[in-house]
Amino acid sequence: MNPLTDSDKRKGAISVRGIAEVENVANIKKTFNRHLHFTLVKDRNVATPRDFYLSLAHTVWDHLVSRWIRTQQFYYDQDPKRIYYLSMEFYMGRTLTNTMTNLGLTQAIDESLYQLGLELEELEEIEEDAGLGNGGLGRLAACFLDSMATLGLAAYGYGIRYDYGIFQQKIADGWQVEEPDDWLRFGNPWEKARPEYLLPVNFYGRVETARNGAKKWVDTQVIFAMPYDTPVPGYGNNNCNTLRLWTAKAPQSFNLHSFNSGEYISAVCDRNEAENISRVLYPNDNFFEGKELRLKQEYFLVASTLQDIIRRFKASKFGSTAHVRTDFTAFPDKVAIQLNDTHPSLAIPELMRVLVDIEGLKWEEAWDICVKTFAYTNHTILPEALERWPVATLQYCLPRHLEIIYDINQRFIHLVLEKFPGDMDRVRRMSLVEEDGDKRINMAYLCVVGSHAVNGVARIHSELIKSDVFRDFYAMWPEKFQNKTNGITPRRWLLLCNPNLSELITEKIGFDWVTDLFKLRGLESLQNDQNFLRELMKVKDQNKRKFAEYIDREFKIKVDPSSMFDIQVKRIHEYKRQLLNCLYVITQYNRIRDNPQGKHAPRTVMIGGKAAPGYHMAKLIIKLINSVGRVVNNDPIVGKRLRVVYLENYRVSLAEKIFPAADLSQQISTAGTEASGTGNMKFMLNGALTIGTMDGANVEMCEEMGRENMFVFGMSVDQVKELGQRGYKPREYYEKNGELRRCLDMIRDGAFSPENPALFQEIYNNLVNHDRFMLLADYEDYMRAQEEVSAAYMDTNKWAKMSLLNIAASGKFSSDRTIMEYAKDIWGVDPHGIKLPAPHEKPLSDEAAAAAVAAAGNKKGAK
């Protein structure tokens, strides 16, 4: 515990902040009370904790507004090139603490609430996560928004405002149960509806050809898109960008024909159907489902966003050469559009449609503009994740777009034959239209053809897309292919979520790391400073205790904070190999039971993550983990040496509690399957050590920290490939390794499901006979690496040093670095952004910034 009393801490904080901050505190209290009265219409006697949270949110919002208006006005005046980040997912999590952090308000607000007799930490917990994403891809978009605002890029996020985000996961009798995520139930104080900017989006209908050959999409059904804007403040720079999310609104005239025939009530009821487009996020991670509603969502995003982008271009000083036709040749100099995976890929035919059918440009002119404007990020090479829309679905929903895709394909094939004359096999392989079976459009190929830059998300993944999925395209356009290794924002994932560690780091190397994460290298010189290593472990210990209390409170499970917190949190997927982790737990269970007197480093194994509701095997894996946990946790022979905890409802706000408390990070996907991973980076930044395969960004993490600081195991990409070609026979591993066989037999024979012994037979059969992700081939080496982990954990000093060297080496994985690379190499804008002139409200002084770093989210106050 902190030896200072609360009031001591507050006095200390006040004296550093000085008079201006005292005024600020007085102002905040006044604004807070005004909102409680006028906005929430409550007095202190009847106000609920939610009323207090909302008053606080409105108070913080008030601090954003001038910055937001000023920034947008500045962009209009300067007319810099705009960056548009199109994504079907923005996994934002909570906004209150992040806004306070980026605006440098944490301390003043903490003090204000204290004076009002309220607890900031308690109010924070009332906010619902904005869970408009599934996992890594959506969270990446959110980290990128923070970095783009912090760097000062004139950037916009565009997405869909789903009424229901990713489902809430409940665990009942060990099984996952999904509940709808009604995140808007109590209103959202972080958005501004813009009903005055409604835009039409068309569906269905047919294509008419005029006598001059011009095409017209007619007899369509119109749905309106209504924007909601969310401010995206930069850290410490007074910038404020916009995340614009669209919601579907039925037009007044929707189903008017039945209205006319007297069916008024049913006509009004039918409006719901139109508005279903933005109802719910599809809960699949790395999986293509091919539903019509999903296609309509994708087009809804793209059509409304492009109208907005073109309107802004035309309204800019550059675009508005009054009364004459807009000159679109300047469009790619003023607009960059980044496609977050293929989900917004219809933007390519849609921009072609607008330019050719509506603006009257020639095909070649329009195509040149398209390719220069678009860039595409690939997120996976798993075949089941690649979007391949049936031609029939496109024909029905978007007939004109299908025509345009065919036209793009025809010209593209011509180009292929120019470069590779007569190579019809190549043409068949590269065609955007897949002819085998039901005809489909390969959306990834469309993106490669329609973009000037294609990037993977970690070095190894970017190499794989060149040699694998896009091999033929790489042969044709090697210059298009790039790597942009993913990153995470150090604001949310260290400063905000781990105030104890932030403060310790800042004491030693100053606070520049917050916006220049490479500065963490400065910690390397402390690797033999025993005092510092002890302090580092003390911080970890405090964080573990706090998280243990949380687990006890929320999940009613007691864990030992001195045991190793061994954590795997991510979506449940066979390729991520939670089952391999499970095999370790069972092996360790057997070893403890076989040799209760042996030396076993005590572990608390925590696994968390959501399974897609339709993914049978993933749901069975959750049940197995919980079943193994029940057996292990209730075995008196095992005692405290092994515990298994399922971290229910893994989401951004829970992640913020997990990473600071982690000792060991499990990143154990089959080499070649995890494109990058970003969870791996969050663990590293918070001082957890990694046990992992040479996959995704693990490879680069290992390179940065040195192999001696990571527990690397398993086959390489080449070895996986080779074994696959040789013919992988998992049963041979089962027969060879007695410990492995015992684990699998226990699963098969119902050792963890005595009430239903056959329950997990499917898992056994799958692993022993198929094992697509080669768990059995990697098992032995994984056990070896786990032994190394245990030995290292027993050597506290060694562990502390490794932890420090992990943190010191994590600078590369700031999303600021990632975004600077996109800016330079893809978008053609200055990676240092544009500087907003000084506002009336001063930007953070060095002292105030240092104090904010020390205080972000905690109650310690500054020195």
Ligand X SMILES: *Cc1c(COP(=O)(O)O)cnc(C)c1O
Catalytically active residues, by annotation: 379, 570-571, 576, 678, 682
Among 242-250, 357-365, 674-682, 774-782, the segment contacting ligand X (CB under 6 A): 674-682
Smaller CB separation from ligand X, 136 or 344: 136
Sole window of 342-350, 381-389, 648-656, 781-789 interacting with ligand X (rule: CB under 6 A): 648-656
Nearer to ligand X, 544 or 651 (CB): 651
Give 88 or 652: the residue with its C-beta nearer to ligand X: 652
* Single-letter amino acid, residue 137: L
Q: φ and ψ at 223, to 5 degrees?
A: -125, 145
Rule CB under 6 A: is residue 817 a binding residue for ligand X? no
Give the separation between CA 346 and CA 649, rounded to whole angstroms.
33
**Given 332, 672, 677, 687, the residue binding ligand X (CB under 6 A):** 677
Query: What Cα–Cα distance (Å) separates residue 251 from each residue in 198, 245, 248, 273?
Result: 10, 18, 10, 12
What are the Cα distances from residue 135, in Å, to 41, 267, 381, 612, 615? 38, 38, 17, 11, 16
List 652, 763, 800, 855, residue binding ligand X (CB under 6 A):
652
Burial of 316 (0-12, 13-18, 19+ CB in 10 A): middle
- Pairwise CA distance, residues 810 & 494, whole Å: 11
Q: Contact between 139 and ligand X (CB under 6 A)?
A: yes
Min CB(656)–ligand X separation in Å: 8
> What is the distance between the alpha carbons of residues 220 and 120, in angstroms, rounded to a whole number?
51
**For ligand X, the closer CB: 138 or 861:** 138
**Which position among 120, 655, 720, 763 is part of the footprint of ligand X (CB under 6 A)?**
655
353 vs 682, beta carbon nearer ligand X:
682
Q: Output b/e per residue, 725-752; b: 16+ Cβ within 10 A.
A: eeebebeebbeebebbeebbebbbebbb
Binding to ligand X by residue 135, rule CB under 6 A? yes
| Segment lying near ligand X (by CB under 6 A), choices 498-506, 678-686, 839-847, 850-858 | 678-686
**Tokens 């949380």 correspond to what residue?**
550
Does 64 participate in binding ligand X (rule CB under 6 A)? no
- The interface with ligand X within residues 1-40 (CB under 6 A) comprises none
Q: For ligand X, which is the closer residue by CB, 483 or 578?
A: 578
Distances (CA, A) of 670 to 48, 666, 720, 778: 49, 12, 8, 9
Residue 240 and residue 99 in contact, taking contact as beta carbons nearer than 8 Å: no
Residue closer to ligand X (CB basis): 136 or 714: 136
Element (H, E) at 604: strand 603-608
- Round to whole Å and give the CA distance between 840 and 838: 7
* C-alpha–C-alpha distance, residues 549 and 661, integer Å: 11
- Contact stretch for ligand X (CB under 6 A) within 68-76, 133-141, 183-191, 817-825: 133-141
- Mark the segment that binds ligand X (CB under 6 A) among 98-106, 231-239, 546-554, 646-654: 646-654
The token pair that represents 794 in the structure block: 């027993």
Q: Taking a C-beta distance cutoff of 8 angstroms, is the pair 667, 797 a contact?
A: no
Give the nearest distance from C-beta 133 to ligand X in angstroms. Answer: 8
* Among 134-142, 268-276, 430-438, 448-456, the segment contacting ligand X (CB under 6 A): 134-142
* 81 DSSP assignment: P
| Interface with ligand X, residue 678, by CB under 6 A | yes
Binding mask 516-555 for ligand X (x = CB under 6 A): ----------------------------------------
Q: CA nearest 86: which of 331, 361, 300?
A: 300
* CA 689 to each of CA 495, 561, 642, 799, 812: distance values in angstroms, whole numbers, following the listed order: 19, 17, 19, 8, 17
The answer to whether residue 283 forms part of the interface with ligand X (CB under 6 A) is no
The three-state secondary structure class of 356 is helix
Distance CA 100, CA 122 (A): 15
C-beta of 129: minimal distance to ligand X in Å?
9
Question: C-beta of 845: minimal distance to ligand X in Å?
Answer: 32
- Contact between 136 and ligand X per CB under 6 A: yes
The CB-of-606 to ligand X minimum distance in angstroms stands at 14
Closer of 95 and 678 to ligand X (Cβ)? 678
Least Å from the CB of residue 456 to ligand X? 15
CA distance 860 to 863: 9
Stretch that binds ligand X, among 15-23, 131-139, 499-507, 600-608 (CB under 6 A): 131-139
The interface region with ligand X, picked from 10-18, 49-57, 649-657, 743-751 by CB under 6 A, is: 649-657
Smallest separation, CB 277 to ligand X (Å)? 25
CB of residue 653 to ligand X, shortest distance in Å: 9
Count of residues interacting with ligand X (CB under 6 A)? 12
Q: Give the pair of three-digit tokens for residue 521.
A: 């290298």
17 or 570, CB closer to ligand X? 570
Q: Is 319 in the site for ligand X (CB under 6 A)?
A: no
Task: Considering the complex, state which of residue 57 and residue 655 has its C-beta at the smaller distance from ligand X.
Answer: 655
Closer of 416 and 551 to ligand X (Cβ): 551
Cα–Cα distances in Å, from 131 out to 53, 141, 164, 166, 576?
19, 12, 8, 6, 22
Closest CB to ligand X among residues 104, 677: 677
Q: How far is the CB of 695 from ligand X (least distance, A)?
A: 11
Query: How near is the Cβ of 569 to ligand X at its closest, in Å?
Result: 7
Strand bridging mode 564-569 / 603-608:
parallel
Minimum distance of ligand X from residue 495's CB (angstroms):
16
The residues in 679-708 that bind ligand X, with binding defined as CB under 6 A, are: 679, 682
d(CA 160, CA 294) in angstroms, rounded, equals 12
Is the Cβ of residue 629 or residue 696 nearer to ligand X in the bound state? 696
Out of 452, 641, 651, 812, point to the residue binding ligand X (CB under 6 A): 651
Where does this chain touch ligand X (CB under 6 A) — which range of 424-432, 671-679, 706-714, 769-777?
A: 671-679
Does 662 bind ligand X (CB under 6 A)? Our answer is no
Q: How far is the CB of 136 from ligand X (least distance, A)?
A: 4
Q: Which residue is nearest to ligand X (CB)?
A: 679
Question: How far, in Å, are 160, 294, 394, 441 from residue 247 at the CA level?
Answer: 6, 14, 22, 27
Q: Is 570 in the site for ligand X (CB under 6 A)?
A: yes
What's the rounded Cα separation, in Å, for the pair 526 and 351? 54
Q: How many CB atoms lie within 10 A of CB 811?
A: 21
Using DSSP's 3-state secondary structure scheme, residue 186 falls into coil
Smallest distance from ligand X to CB 61, Å: 24
- Please list, in sequence order, all residues whose beta carbon lies within 8 angstroms of the beta carbon of residue 626, skipping any fewer than 6 positions away: 171, 174, 175, 646
Residues that bind ligand X (CB under 6 A): 135-136, 139, 570, 650-652, 655, 677-679, 682
